[in-house]
Amino acid sequence: MITIMGSMFLITGLLILPVRMIKNNITLLALQSLFLSLIAFLLGSKLGFNGQIIFIGFLTLVVKVFVLPFILLRLAKQLKADKELHPNAGPVVSIVAGISLAVLTYDYVVPVMLQDITSGEELLAAAISTILFGCFYVVSRRSVLNQVIGVIMMENGLFLSALAITGGMPLIIELGIFFDILVGVLVMGAMIYKISDRFQTLDIKKLNRLRG
Amino acid sequence: MKEIALFLGQGLFILLVSPLVNGVIKKTKARMQNRVGPPLWQPYLDIIKFLRREAVTSVNTSWLTSITPYICLSAYLVAGGIIPLAGKQILALGDIIAFIYLFALARFFLALASLESGGSFGGMGSSREMMIATLVEPVLALGLFGLVALAGTTDLAGIRGAGSNPAGILALIGLMVVIIAETGRVPVDNPDTHLELTMVHEGMLLEYSGRQLGWLHLAAVIKETVLLILLIHLFFPANPSWPLILILISLIVKIMVLGVVLALIESVNAKMRLFRLPELMAGGAAICLLSILINSLNGL
Amino acid sequence: MNNASEVIGTVSLFLFAAGALLPYLFYRKRQLSLLIGCLAAASGSLMVMYLGFRGLLAPEPIYIRFGNILPGICLELLIDRLSGFFLLTISVIALLTSLYSIQYMSLYSRENLAWWSFCYNSFLLAMVLVVTVNNFLLFLIFWELMTLASYFLVTYSYKRKLVRKAGFVYLIMTHIGTVFIASAFFLMLGVGGGWDFAALASNSTGLLPVVKNLVFICALIGFGTKAGVVPLHIWLPQAHPAAPTNVSALMSGVMLKTAIYGMIRMIIDILGVGPAWWGGLLILLGAISAVSGVIYALMQEDLKRLLAFCSVENIGIILMGLGASLVFYSWSLPVPAAIALAAGLFHVLNHAIFKSLLFLCTGSIYYATHTKKIEQLGGLIKRMPFTAVLFLTGAISISAIPPFNGFASEYQTYLSLLTISYQQTSVLWSLGAILACVTLALTGALAAACFVKAFGISFLALPRSEKAEKAEEVPWSMTLSIAPLAILCLVLGIRPAPLINTLTKVSAQLIDGPEVPPLQVFNSNLALVLGLLILIFIGVTRLFGGYRERKTETWGCGIEHNVKMAYTAESYSQPIRRVYQPLLRPKRKVRTEFSERSYFNYRVYFKEHLGSNLREYLYKPIRKGIINISQKWQVIQSGNINWYLGYIFLTLILLLIFVTKG
């Protein structure tokens, strides 16, 4: 069951890459977060009803599945940003890149580089692939809003890897991370609003004046 | 007690002999120029004459001008006293390094005092003197420390005759150059004129008069003699087992001979341009260096 | 008995802290806050002086523990003889400077004096801790604190642009130094080893020779930057004139010495005996620093810049002693090594004394005339007689003229260098040692010229400006706080034996060696005979015809004498500038303009610019090269965020692929 959830997690991540509609991207992100929280629930019950992990899963559900997408969607509506117009990488390139990144992690990084880690290998592979997806997503998109989505995706990946290897970090740290992400998205939202207000665009190509 | 008596005796000896050395040099020069020249004892008469005169100083001067002649005189005399003429070290007063720096002491105060009157000549002399000193001192150090390294001690009794070896001749020539510069003789400086283009040492004394000038003249001749004595001590020492009187007589003879040599060098050379001095000094340094190299190759 | 030291040590640290913080309570009452700051610093220094004495004289090191301040790091002071000596040096200068500052800082009575007190006391606190802490992490922390506090002191008159620039250069250079110091420490750090010096020392015995050499070079560059070793000294002549003069006295007199402390601690104590070329390199650098420092000092016309360059010279002399010591250690001759180290340390103390003496006198001049340009001074010996005597004492001492203390320590350095040549190891070493001595002699002659100029032009003859004409002697509190330094100059010059014989024991605590037999020195006899002879001659003059002088005007060749006839500082140094042209490379421009006919009524324009050769031939090319390379690299800096993110992405992938397990 966990393996299936892990692959769902991976597939949602992969799907985000080629999609150009920002609303759909946000929805996919929420879906990914949902799988993440489900994984947490399953892991928690598998390890003998571990209260901590379940609590974290619940937190993920609230913050990442409902609150963050809500904020982002509202922001997209306010800014009338519904489509990424000129991505740096087209859909085909994105999907090919995503698949090759997944192959890299599944066939080389996890079994060869991280061979010492024996528990939760398949989840770890999914997690690392998602981190790389997020990274690639950030590189391939030009809209500021999409940068935020990419960062959250990376964060999802990191979260899953922590869950996979150690069964979750100490609660206090998890709480800190959630708070961090929440505030981060709020701040980024404000910044994005300012940027679009100032430059009349969300395209980061236009933001190269600070060059030394 | 005996040491103190010896020290005093040596100081007195230098004090009394040095005007004579100056007289010999002047006489030789005069002879070379086909003149009769002043009598040998003329420097004594000059100094005594000055000492009996009242001193006139500029209104701009302070205690520094008044005290400088005594400091110079004492520094040169102590430097002379350090050299153990009678065999072993008299009192533990210093060594070759102290010797060099006593000269620096005298020079420092004289250079300061000559600035005091606020005239141009004093400043000129002072500035040139310090410039020459920066050229002379390294070469002097090179020559002397080469001998020191050979003897393995800085103690003046220990380096007696350190230069009495083949390479020593080179060191002697090098040090001779230095001493000519240090005593302000042709080709570096002309002690006989008050011409603005040439004057170094005389420029510094220009504002002095009477008693103070007398002491400074005495100091200058003592400086000359002490340097000659040092050369003799390093290169032509007397056998210390000789009786004292014999050592002294041989010393006087040697000083006179060296004085005549100095006068000859002075007579056959023309005054050099001030800014060609580095070349002369570099030559002296090269000769000293050569002597050190030869010695150290022999020593290994 | 150790308890007393602990209490005093704690109290002194608290006093410094109080001196830093309390003035802020009386922020509005400037005079009061200054007074509190200075008095706290003075009393703190007094207690540190006690500690220094105890540490220097006690055969066993004193430990003062304060407990852990960071996990695993214990604030513990270890005062062995070396630390004790440096504490003593710091405290003597700090005590007198603090007393001096009470009056002197009234020049700045419109500025924020509480801030000054804060920086000043933190500076002292940091210096005291730097030379006593027993732990490399704390050493670095306090080293940084010292740098920062002194930076804020340098930029105290931050409203002037030059001051800000000087502070900037200072900050940059010292941080470059700190990087090297830190890397030297990290190189020595063992796997799982502790942070304290003892652990480092035991760890460093097993280091490879290559690593040892690397540590040495790093330490040399790091501490050399702070000490002002040529060619890393460029911050020094800018920072010292910018700071208030009492601060420059501390910086030049004491702060540079903490770098010497660091070198000794790191190289001799922790790193242990190394190859002989270490010492040779130190001697070479010392010789270069000494000569180039003093020759640039000679060319300055700002008194504080002159003194700053002169510090470079003296650091060079100290390094020569230190280098000789390293050479002897590597030749396994512990007794000459101990003596050479003692010579270096002795010069550390002496330089601290006469340099702060000179800086404080310059402060007095500035207080009285509001200028520190030599060309504007003159005739001060009549207007400020006490300051003149004090400055003269300092000038004689720094020119290494007997019977003052500069001679005493340079003499020991000469002997140590000559001892190298006595060993007859090889022609190279013998000749090198002799040449080092020759440089020392050259340095001495140049220093004498430099200070004849400094003293002669600024104190003698006639005043050259209205400011100098109106000068009055500074208040007693200032003169009296400088006077002990002058007395120390004379006392240490006449009786150096007790101090030197104590200092020879310092190295026994660092590297085991046999007892050094007490050294025989002649300085007291020399001074006695010299003094007696001077008195005798003065007496003789009195007997025959008296001591009278008649005063008249200076003869001006028929024209009435005026101040324009006197030699100026520029003209004084001109012959030397000309003779040492190859070294100095002045840029000279002469242009003649005829009005109608030649020979009559023509004007000559003469302009001579003396830049820094180092800046021209070393720093400029480096800067150019760096800028060139940076511009080439700018290609990758597109300004596009996607690109930057792409770099991160690529790096991540590459790391994932290529980093193999450790």
d(C-alpha B70, C-alpha B74), whole Å: 6
At position C494, the amino acid (one-letter code) is I
Residue of A nearest to C643 (CA): A139
* Cβ separation C649–A142 shorter than 8 A: no
Residue C392: band (very low, low, confident or very high) from pLDDT cuts 50, 70, 90: very high
d(C-alpha A32, C-alpha A150), whole Å: 12
Query: Which of C422, C520, C526 lies nearest to residue B78, judging by beta carbons?
Result: C526
Q: How many CB contacts within 8 angstroms connect chain A with chain C?
A: 52
> Which value does ipTM take for this structure?
0.95
- Mean pLDDT, range C344-364, rounded to an integer: 95
Contacting residues of C for B98, CB less than 8 Å apart: 402, 411, 522, 526
* Cβ separation C641–A116 shorter than 8 A: no
pLDDT at A103 over 50: yes
Write out the H or E segment, with its range, that includes residue C592.
strand C587-594
> Chains A/B: 3 or more C-beta pairs closer than 8 A?
no
Q: What percent of chain C has pLDDT over 90?
A: 54
* Cβ separation C461–B60 shorter than 8 A: yes
Query: Which of B92, B152, B275 lies nearest to residue C578, judging by beta carbons?
Result: B275
pLDDT at residue number B88: 66
For C100, what's the count of Cα atoms within 13 Å in the CB-facing half-sphere? 31
Query: Which of B55, B120, B146 lies nearest to residue C567, judging by beta carbons?
Result: B120
Query: Which of C637, C640, C649 lies nearest to residue A135, judging by beta carbons?
Result: C649
The chains in contact with chain C, meaning 3 or more Cβ pairs closer than 8 Å, are: A, B
Which one, of A181, A205, A203, lies nearest residue A192 by Cα? A203
The chains in contact with chain B, meaning 3 or more Cβ pairs closer than 8 Å, are: C
Measured CA to CA in angstroms, residue C60 lies from C82, C341, C505, C509 at distances of: 12, 19, 12, 9
Tokens of C122: 């933190």
**pLDDT tens per residue across span C226-258:** 999 988 888 998 898 899 999 999 999 999 999
Asked whether the beta carbons of A10 and A126 are under 8 A apart, the reply is yes
Which of A6-15, B197-206, C356-365 has the least mean pLDDT?
B197-206
**pLDDT tens per residue across span C462-475:** 898 988 888 899 99
* Cβ separation A113–C649 shorter than 8 A: no
Full 3-state SS string of C51-93: HHHHHHHCCCCEEEEEEEEECCEEEEEEECHHHHHHHHHHHHH
**pLDDT tens per residue across span C57-77:** 988 888 888 877 766 677 888
Query: Which of B105, B154, B292 lies nearest to residue C418, judging by beta carbons?
Result: B154
DSSP labels, chain B: -HHHHHHHHHHHHHHHHHHHHHHHHHHHHHHHTT-----TTHHHHHHHHHHHSPEEEETT--HHHHHHHHHHHHHHHHHHHHS-TTSSPSSS---HHHHHHHHHHHHHHHHHHHHHT--HHHHHHHHHHHHHHHHHHHHHHHHHHHHHHHHT---TTTTTTTT-STTHHHHHHHHHHHHHHHTT-TTT--TT---TTT-SHHHHHTT--HHHHHHHHHHHHHHHHHHHHHHHHHHSPPPTTS-HHHHHHHHHHHHHHHHHHHHHHHHH-PPPPGGGHHHHHHHHHHHHHHHHHHHHHHH-
Q: Write down the domain spans for chain C.
A: 575-609, 613-658
- Mean pLDDT, range B176-182, rounded to an integer: 91
pLDDT at C400 over 60: yes
pLDDT at C175 over 80: yes
pLDDT at residue number C589: 84
Query: Which of C439, C448, C538 lies nearest to residue B108, judging by beta carbons?
Result: C448
**pLDDT tens per residue across span B219-267:** 999 999 999 999 999 999 888 888 888 888 999 999 999 999 999 998 8
Tokens of A70: 């809500």
Q: Tell me the shortest Cα–Cα distance from B31 to chain C, in angstroms.
A: 34
Residue C485: band (very low, low, confident or very high) from pLDDT cuts 50, 70, 90: very high
Q: Please state the pTM of the whole predicted model.
A: 0.85
Query: Which of B71, B124, B134 lies nearest to residue C576, judging by beta carbons?
Result: B134
CB of B116 within 8 Å of a chain C CB? The answer is yes
CB of B16 within 8 Å of a chain C CB? The answer is no
* Cβ separation C657–A104 shorter than 8 A: yes
Contacting residues of A for C641, CB less than 8 Å apart: 147, 204, 207-208
* Cβ separation A147–C641 shorter than 8 A: yes
Asked whether the beta carbons of A19 and A25 are under 8 A apart, the reply is yes
Residue of A nearest to C647 (CA): A139
pLDDT at residue number A211: 59
pLDDT at residue number A190: 83
Contacting residues of C for B67, CB less than 8 Å apart: 534, 538
Query: Which of A109, A138, A140 lies nearest to residue C656, judging by beta carbons?
Result: A109
Contacting residues of A for C661, CB less than 8 Å apart: 113, 116
pLDDT at residue number B166: 81
For the beta carbon of residue A193, count every other beta carbon within 10 angstroms: 14
Tokens of C226: 């702070």
* Cβ separation C642–A113 shorter than 8 A: no
Residue C31: band (very low, low, confident or very high) from pLDDT cuts 50, 70, 90: confident
Output the CA angle C350-C355-C356, nearest 5 degrees.
105
pLDDT at residue number B93: 82
pLDDT at A10 over 80: yes
Which of A61-70, A146-155, C1-10, C98-107 has the least mean pLDDT?
C1-10
Full 3-state SS string of C156-207: HHCCCHHHHHHHHHHHHHHHHHHHHHHHHHHHHCCCCCCCEHHHHHHHHCCC
d(C-alpha B136, C-alpha C442), whole Å: 9
For the beta carbon of residue B256, count every other beta carbon within 10 angstroms: 18
CB of B124 within 8 Å of a chain C CB? The answer is yes
Best mutation site among B54, B127, B189, B280 for testing chain C: the one with the most C CBs within 10 Å?
Answer: B127
Query: Which of C638, C648, C652 lies nearest to residue A208, judging by beta carbons?
Result: C638
Higher pLDDT, B141 or C617: B141
pLDDT at residue number B28: 93
Binding-face residues of C in 622-661 toward A, CB within 8 A: 634, 637-642, 645-646, 648-649, 652-653, 656-657, 659-661
Contacting residues of C for B57, CB less than 8 Å apart: 549-552
- Mean pLDDT, range B94-100, rounded to an integer: 90
pLDDT at residue number C427: 83
Q: Tell me the shortest Cα–Cα distance from C169 to chain A, in angstroms.
A: 22
Tokens of A8: 């769902």
The answer, yes or no, to whether the previous bond of C237 is cis (omega within 30 of 0) is no
Over chain A, what is the mean pLDDT? 83
Residue of B nearest to C426 (CA): B300
* Cβ separation C661–A113 shorter than 8 A: yes
Contacting residues of C for A135, CB less than 8 Å apart: 645, 648-649, 652
pLDDT at residue number C643: 81
**pLDDT tens per residue across span C521-558:** 888 888 998 999 999 998 888 887 666 778 888 877 78
Contacting residues of C for B126, CB less than 8 Å apart: 452, 456, 567, 572
Sign of CA dihedral A137, A138, A143, A145: positive
Contacting residues of B for C457, CB less than 8 Å apart: 115
- Mean pLDDT, range C487-499, rounded to an integer: 93
| β-pair partners for C549 | B55
- Mean pLDDT, range B193-198, rounded to an integer: 68
Residue of C nearest to B90 (CA): C525
> Chains A/C: 3 or more C-beta pairs closer than 8 A?
yes
* Cβ separation B118–C415 shorter than 8 A: no
Interface residues from chain A to C (CB-CB < 8 Å) = 88, 101, 104-105, 108-109, 113, 116, 128, 132, 135-136, 138-142, 147, 204-205, 207-212
**pLDDT tens per residue across span B44-92:** 999 999 988 888 888 888 899 999 999 999 999 999 988 888 766 666 7
Q: Which long-range contacts (CB under 8 A, 24 or more apart) does C203-207 make?
A: C204/C270, C204/C271, C204/C272, C205/C272
Q: How many CB contacts within 8 angstroms connect chain B with chain C?
A: 245
Q: Tell me the shortest Cα–Cα distance from C662 to chain A, in angstroms.
A: 11
**pLDDT tens per residue across span A104-145:** 888 888 777 777 777 777 788 888 899 999 988 888 888 888
Q: Supply the DSSP symbol for A62.
A: I
d(C-alpha B62, C-alpha C502), whole Å: 41
* Cβ separation A113–C659 shorter than 8 A: yes
Over chain C, what is the mean pLDDT? 89
Query: Which of C414, C549, C578 lies nearest to residue B66, judging by beta carbons?
Result: C549
pLDDT at residue number B155: 86
Query: Which of C641, C653, C657 lies nearest to residue A207, judging by beta carbons?
Result: C641
Residue C1: band (very low, low, confident or very high) from pLDDT cuts 50, 70, 90: very low
Q: What radius of gyration do chain C's Cα atoms show? A: 27
Residue C491: band (very low, low, confident or very high) from pLDDT cuts 50, 70, 90: very high
